[in-house]
A = this chain, B = another copy of it.
């Protein structure tokens, strides 16, 4: 893993198209609120989980077997993600100074913010496509989570390495506000938001609106502004405060 900040920034940038596409895919179905209601999963032995919770549990059960969660930026949403892989996986050393990646697990923030976003990207109503809705929800949640954790781990480590004395001082002091302001680069954030807006429009430019719902670029831009960027920074602070010296 290369820890130069411009390489990390380019990797984060490349996840933008993926996230945008997942939102577009989900938006092709109505809100289908049933899939988010506790217990309304329709399974004979589905317990009190919502259909989305159940789908995520099954998915992470499979993903854990295949070794997904050995990668720092892939953090599990459910306890099923803590199972051991069933295959031999060799992972390169990632250069992070933290033993247990799950000490930085922001999936609860990702989940809650995504559920709150659904009414803004989907048409209100119920079209009965519950299976497809939760399939796309899982894909979107995993894509958002990957972006946020990738940023939290690698941006933080990279910034630390570029000014170790300054960050060591701030970490010792334990002042989150000071860390937050050291990690914040407002011009860069503005650039990201502008780029998101253009990408959402470009990607949807050729869509046939007879059958495809189009998402306003403002909605995804605001999600970046109010969730992805700040939650990533929360994660960066978490990482730095737990960083092993």
Cα distance, A43 to B62, chains bound together (Å): 13
Q: For the complex, is A134 an interface residue (Cβ under 8 Å from B)?
A: yes
Within 8 A of B (CB), among A177-224: 195, 198-199, 202-203, 205-208, 210-212
A128 touches which of B25, B28, B90, B210 (Cβ 8 Å): B90
Q: Which residue of B lies closest to A24 (CB)?
A: B17
Q: For the complex, is A67 an interface residue (Cβ under 8 Å from B)?
A: yes
Q: How many residues of A contact B (CB 8 A)?
A: 51
Contact with B along A86-125 (1 / 0, CB 8 A): 1111101000000000000000000000000000000000
Q: For the complex, is A18 an interface residue (Cβ under 8 Å from B)?
A: yes
Chain B residues whose CB sits within 8 angstroms of the CB of A212 once the complex forms: 14, 17
Q: Which residue of B lies closest to A70 (CB)?
A: B131
Contact with B along A28-49 (1 / 0, CB 8 A): 1000000000000111111000
Q: For the complex, is A245 an interface residue (Cβ under 8 Å from B)?
A: no
Segment from A5-13, A152-160, A161-169 that makes contact with B: A5-13
Across the A-B interface, give the 7 residue pairs with the lowest CB-CB distance, nearest first: A42-B87, A10-B211, A42-B88, A43-B87, A10-B210, A21-B21, A14-B211
